[in-house]
Amino acid sequence: MIKNVMSDHIIQVYKMDTYGGIDLSVTMTPTYADLLNWLSMFKYEHEQELKLREESLAVKNAWEQYQVVKALAKKEASNA
């Protein structure tokens, strides 16, 4: 018999009485599980890019130039 169900559209928690105790089940909705997997891969790729920028002067210089161009584009867009 399910005694208690809690949910917030991300995680569901089920508490059930069983012989000799209680079973507790925690599950995550597939959508949020996929988002967490995506976030984990994004973090890994970001760390690899950071490492590449630290190890390669050419990549570091190109990254810095990109940051300048991006800042100028944002400034121009805000003035429009």
What are the percentages of helix, strand and coil residues in the chain, rounded to 5? 60, 30, 10
Q: Is this prediction's pTM over 0.85? A: no
Looking at 2-6, 7-11, 25-29, 47-51, which range is the least confident one?
Answer: 2-6
Token pair in block for residue 13: 């928690």
Task: Look at residue 1 and tell me whether its pLDDT is greater than 80.
Answer: no
Query: In the prediction, which pLDDT does 7 show?
Result: 60
Arithmetic mean of pLDDT, 43-50: 97
- Any idea what the Cα angle at residue 74 is, between residues 72 and 80, rounded to 5°? 105
Question: Tokens 């990254």 correspond to what residue?
Answer: 63
Q: Structurally, how many domains does the chain consist of? A: 1
Task: Look at residue 51 and tell me whether its pLDDT is greater than 80.
Answer: yes
Of 22, 20, 28, give the one whose Cα is nearest residue 4.
Answer: 22
Range(s) of the domain holding residue 71: 2-79
